[in-house]
Amino acid sequence: MHTLSAIEIEEFASRPGANRKDVEYFLNAVAQPGTKEGALLSLYYDARLYRWNASTIKAIEAGICLAYAEDGANSEASYNEISTPLPGGAYSLWPYSNR
């Protein structure tokens, strides 16, 4: 794991549709010791709690993947490796509702 630089975080926060403040705050905390899986679980919990949009979630996922990539030089390939569990997908953290 490596600590994301301010430039790397800025790139993720600048993605179209992503909430800059949420991305910056979350990715600054990723530098704390932990695992990729733990960071992703925290992301999905926060995303549901704060009702983040898909662009914000994808930007943070990409930052987590970069932070935990074994080879920083080749980490761009992992930016979109995770399928976000948003409503309507096969797996979702949002409970199904019949309303």
**93 lies in some domain:** no
Please tell me the total count of domains within the chain. Answer: 1
Q: Given a cut of 60, is residue 82 above it in pLDDT?
A: no
**84 lies in some domain:** no
What distance in Å separates the CA atoms of residue 50 and residue 24, rounded to the nearest whole number?
Answer: 15
Q: Are 81 and 40 in contact (CB under 8 A)?
A: no
Range of the domain at 69: 6-78
Q: Are 4 and 31 in contact (CB under 8 A)?
A: yes
**71 lies in some domain:** yes
Q: What is residue 5's DSSP assignment? A: P
Q: Which ranges of 1-99 does DSSP label H, i.e. alpha helix?
A: 6-13, 20-29, 36-50, 54-68
The 10s digit of each residue's pLDDT in 25-72 is 999 988 676 888 999 999 999 999 999 999 999 999 999 999 988 754
pTM score, whole prediction: 0.71
